[in-house]
Structures are given as C-alpha cells and as structure tokens.
Structure 1
C-alpha cells in the first residue's frame, strides 16, 4: 500500500493551519536582508516585510536542498513509500529544477516533482487538492495523473500599485512592454498556461481595477460552480471589498478572505496587491 508524503515550497501561501491539517511539509525560501536572513513563513511575516521594504528590498534564494533531503530521510524512517513535491512556476524560480535534480539522486523513496506553473494560492490549491486525494487513500499513480487537472481548473488574477518591484526582481515576464508608464494606470495581471505573468487588462485607477476583477470573477461563475480565495499584499481593505462583491455571485460555492501574499512573493510584487484565485469545481 502507498504511503505518500506531500511537500511544497513557501510560495504556495498556505496557512500554517492547513499545512498542519494535511501534514504538508514546507520548504521555505530564504529572505535575505543586508543584516540577517530569514526562513520564509517560519521566521518572517508579511507585515515585517512590508514595513522594511521602503528602506531595503531584500534578496530571495531557493529552498534548501539539505532541508529537502532531511524531510525525505524522515519520510523514509516514518514508512513513507512515495513523495509528491509541488513547486511554484519554473518561470519564476529555479526551485522546480533544483528539487527535481536532487530527487534524481535520492533512491530510497519514489518521488514526483510537479511544476504548478503558478504561485500563491493558485499553487496552494493544487497542493490542497492533492492532499485531499492522499487523505482519501488514492494511489500514487492515480494522484499523479490527476494533479494536472487541478492546475487546468485554477487561475489567478490580481492588480498591483506599481511595477517597480516586479522590474527590480526580474519577474515581470510578459507584463513588460504592455503597460504604458502613465499616471495611475493599473494592470490586471494573470499567469498564463506556460507559467508567466501576463497582462489581462488595464485599468485607470484602483476603482476601475476592482471593477475589472469583479467582471472576470463573474465570467467564471456564469457556467461553472467556483471556489474563490481572496488575496492581498498589504491591501486588506481592497481585498475585503473584493470579497464582499464576489461572495454573493451565483455559483460561488466557497469564498475565503485572509490569504496574505507571503514574503517570498511580496518581495517581488510590493505593497498594494489584491486579487483572487478561482477554481472551477464542476
């Protein structure tokens, strides 16, 4: 019988409660300031990061392969026969490739490393749905075949105050060249199926950006039952407004507020982000 461990990186933005509930092991990114480095999510909060950003934009580095090896060693000792590892998009980070290479040299357990081609709770949804299959007792092969459908059914849309942080972090992807540098123009950004940022639409100011996000959300619910996760990066009031409007749409089976963009992603998006992750469930 399969005994399957589940591992993910801290860019998934899952709460500690969900990680504990489903026994999901975490690989934290490193957040590196000039005077100190922190394990993402474990030693640094989003609030601390946004307070520090005006004076210093820290660097980030990949999760520790030593930590991964320790988690796999522990899994073997605990009788696990398989491990599934889900990462953020390989277009944003070398995490997927470094973990895949490390697992090729770890023979004591059967591993499957999956590139979610997304991040934040869009990655987190894939992790959660995988965790539920493990809990239901599905086999390793069944789960591995099913995981891509979770990615196919999940999308992310958000707006940000400034492109400054995406530019400095080199994460701007296909947003570059599509946004005119004019006063108060807000992009509505998504992640395409290749795992890259892409401009979905443009808005004149925050109010219009909110309106466009609501229109996108409504388009998903016209023909599908959907779950929504409302996220923010130091923009809780905007997220609350989005939440209040989305939760009352037809065909919304669940809508949750309070998903903060973690430090590993917040470094690259900066303050003022709000948006949603949507999962089609039928």
Structure 2
C-alpha cells in the first residue's frame, strides 16, 4: 500500500491554508536581513517584504538542509513510503537538487523530484493538482507520468514596474535587452519551457501592460479551452484587482483565484508586479 507525501518549496507561493488543506509539506526559502533570518511563508509575509523593499532588499537562500532533513525524517516516522517533491525551476534555485541529494540517505522512501521549470502560481497550481491526484487515489507511478504533461499545459505571464530588482538579484536572464525606464517601456515576461525568464512582449506604460495581459489571457483561453486561472500580485493588489475584473468573465475560465507573489520571489521582481497564470484542464 502506497502512502504518498507531497513536498514543495515556497517558490510555489501557496498559502499556509492551502498547504494545510491539501496536506502539502513546505520547505521554505530563507529570507535574510542584516539583523535576522526568516523562513519564507512561515515567519514572514509577502506584504512584510514589499513594505520594506525601499529601505532594504534582503537576500534569499536555499531552504535549510537541517529543515529539509527534518521533513524527511518525520515523513518516514509517519509511515510514508513515497515522496513527490515539486521544486521551483532549477534555473532559479538548487532546491530540487539539494532535496534529491538528501533523499539518497533515505532509501526506504521511493521518491520523485520534479523540476517544475517554473515558479509562483504556475508551480503552485501543479502542486495543488498533484495533491488532488493523491486524494483521488492515483498511484505514485501514475502521478510521476502525468506531471511532465501537466507542466506543458501550464502558462504564465507577468509584467514588472522596474527591472531594478531583477538586475540586483541576478535573475534578469534573457530580459536584459528590455531597457525602457526613460520611455516607460514595460516588459511582459514569461518563463520559457526551459525554465528561464524571457521577454514575451514590450509595451509602453502600465495601462498597456494590463491590456496586453488581458489579450494574452483571452488568446490562451481561446487556444487551449478550459483553464484554471490565477491572477498574481506582487505588491500590486490594486492592479491585480483591475486585471481580475478585465478577464473574469472570459469564456473557458473553469476557476479563477488570486495569488500573492511571495517573499523569495518578490525580492527579485519588486513591488508593482502583476501577472496571470493559466493551467489547461482536460
């Protein structure tokens, strides 16, 4: 009899309520200020970080090895036989690889570490879908087979107010060519199939950025059919609410929810980030 545990890192931007309701184990990134270190989600909220960004940009670090080891030890004690870990894109963090190495010392746990090659709501949606598959009684092998397919059906786009934070965090990647602070150019960014940031489009001004996200959402829904949709806010709740109102009545939206971009990601995107995530439903 398989007893399957589900683990994710805080790059998935799931709330404490979502984690608890779906029996998901969290390994939190560390948010590091000069005076103190915090466990992402568990000890610090997105709003806490955004409110302090102007005075200080914290650094982020992998989840503690001791913390991850503690999770694995507890799962074994609780009788779990299998572990599925869904990590943030390996291009942004080595969390998945660290967890995989720790699992080598736990031969009694049959494991699968899945590189989501994405982050935030797209990653979180994959985690929630996996939790549902576990509840529905799918086997470990069936779930491992389905996850790569589900990832190809995940689509996410966001716009940021400034490139400053991506540059400081060293995460700018293929977005580097998007230079437009003087012209008020706003990049529409997506995470490619390889799991890196790339520029999808460039528009002028915040209003046009929201309009383009609305257009992208409509195109994706018309192309793929029924989707679960998530509107993302990174210190931009008012903008996210506007985007929600702009798309909420579109055909093919099976469900729609909000998600806050969490601290570990927010320090790299900065305040004023808004986006939309679509997960195909078949």
TM-score (norm 1): 0.97
Structure 1 residues 1-282: aligned runs within 5 Å: 1-223=1-223, 224-257=225-258, 259-282=259-282
SS of 2:251's equivalent in the other structure is coil
Deviations 1:173-207 (A, max 9, x none): 11112434533110000000000000000010000
SS of 2:42's equivalent in the other structure is coil
Q: Larger deviation: 136-145 or 93-102? A: 93-102
Give the Cα–Cα distance (whole angstroms) in 1 for the partners of residues 87 and 116 of structure 2.
6
- 2:178–2:187 CA contact under 8 A, matched in 1: no
Q: Larger deviation: 131-140 or 100-109? A: 100-109
Q: Larger deviation: 172-181 or 140-149? A: 172-181
Following TM superposition, where does structure 1 have runs of at least 4 consecutive aligned residues deviating by more than 4 angstroms?
none
Give the Cα–Cα distance (whole angstroms) in 1 for the partners of residues 52 and 182 of structure 2.
27
Deviation (angstroms), 1:269:
0.5
Give the Cα–Cα distance (whole angstroms) in 1 for the partners of residues 60 and 143 of structure 2.
31
CA RMSD of aligned residues (A): 1.1
Give the Cα–Cα distance (whole angstroms) in 2 for the partners of residues 100 and 249 of structure 1.
41
- 1:221–1:250 CA contact under 8 A, matched in 2: yes
Query: How many residues were matched structurally?
Result: 281
Give the Cα–Cα distance (whole angstroms) in 2 for the partners of residues 87 and 54 of structure 1.
29
- 1:247–1:254 CA contact under 8 A, matched in 2: no
Give the Cα–Cα distance (whole angstroms) in 2 for the partners of residues 194 and 67 of structure 1.
28
Give the Cα–Cα distance (whole angstroms) in 2 for the partners of residues 181 and 161 of structure 1.
9
SS of 1:243's equivalent in the other structure is helix
Deviation (angstroms), 1:57:
0.8
Show structure 2 runs of 5+ residues with no match. none
Give the Cα–Cα distance (whole angstroms) in 2 for the partners of residues 104 and 202 of structure 1.
45
Show structure 1 runs of 5+ residues with no match. none
- 1:239–1:275 CA contact under 8 A, matched in 2: yes
Give the Cα–Cα distance (whole angstroms) in 1 for the partners of residues 179 and 140 of structure 2.
44
Give the Cα–Cα distance (whole angstroms) in 2 for the partners of residues 123 and 255 of structure 1.
16
Give the Cα–Cα distance (whole angstroms) in 2 for the partners of residues 164 and 191 of structure 1.
18
Deviation (angstroms), 1:96:
1.6
Deviation (angstroms), 1:44:
0.6
Deviation (angstroms), 1:99:
1.4
Give the Cα–Cα distance (whole angstroms) in 1 for the partners of residues 180 and 236 of structure 2.
23
Give the Cα–Cα distance (whole angstroms) in 1 for the partners of residues 170 and 269 of structure 2.
11
